[in-house]
Amino acid sequence: MWYRCQQVVNLYDAPTGERLATQAQAGRWLYPGETSGERRWVTLAEDDYGGWVTPVDWANVQPTCEPYQPPQLNRAAIVPRLPLVLTFALHAMGQPHVYRWGGTVPPDFDCSGLVQTAFAQAGIWLPRDAYQQEAFVAPISRDSLAPGDLVFFGTAERATHVGIYLGNQQYIHCSGIAQGRNGIGVDSLGEDRGAIGETYAQQWRGAGRVVASYQPQNHPDTQKCFAQT
């Protein structure tokens, strides 16, 4: 059966609830899985991302017979929405905030959380983590970057950081204090990149373009729910 969040719900990466994995804003769809003690594993419908929910947060979830219907968007439909994406990210930078691992709810984000939420509020769903977002977008050359494209950083094996390209060699991203900033900022890919930009320049992996909205790979069986209504 489908469920919907009535308030913000926190998902953790273990039943102990010690580290935040992601967050779900009010209105998001999910479906439950196994339980461990009082904790319940759930999967968010929009991005197939899972985590453990505490009893307190589970009280903010209600069953529904309305199934999640993912938006069907191609590149032509996405382009007019990109200004909304950039505006959201820039506005978030201007609010009091800090970097929060697992954060996808304003005001505090992690890198991929900021990217996912900026696109989601424009009606475009992306996968949750930076490496998943890198695998989802269409690869492009650095010379082809346009506003709204994504830029990726990390190791040779995996993307660990992501930002949104603004144009004029600049990108906006949310980084932790270990990389020189505790929150959202704008840095450069050009020669004037400064200390933080230089740190990420050493971790450059590539760029990608959002050409579709994410389509979930897994759905619960809703036939029983509809049969009961």
* DSSP code string of 133-147: HHHHSEEE-GGG--T
Q: What is the pLDDT of residue 100?
A: 97
Whether 43 has a pLDDT exceeding 60, the answer reads yes
Whether 222 has a pLDDT exceeding 60, the answer reads no
pLDDT 10s digits, 197-210:
999 999 999 999 99
Residues 6+ apart with CB under 8 A from 141: 207
Q: Which residue has the tokens 């373009």?
A: 209
Domains in the chain, CATH or no CATH each: 2-69 (2.30.30.40), 75-209 (3.90.1720.10)
To which H or E segment does residue 54 belong? none
Whether 221 has a pLDDT exceeding 60, the answer reads no
The answer to whether the CB of 213 falls within 8 A of the CB of 124 is: yes
State the chain's mean pLDDT as an integer: 94
Q: What is the pLDDT of residue 229?
A: 30
pLDDT 10s digits, 26-37:
999 999 999 999
Query: 0.85 exceeded by the pTM?
Result: yes
Q: What is the pLDDT of residue 18?
A: 85
Q: Indicate which residues carry an active-site annotation.
A: 111, 161, 173
- pLDDT bin (cut points 50, 70, 90) of residue 228 is very low
- Tell me, rounded to whole angstroms, the distance of Cα 72 from its chain centroid: 18
Residues 6+ apart with CB under 8 A from 128: 22, 47, 49, 104, 112, 113, 116
Q: What is the pLDDT of residue 225?
A: 47
Q: How far apart are CA 209 and CA 147, in angstroms?
A: 10
Q: What is the pLDDT of residue 226?
A: 37
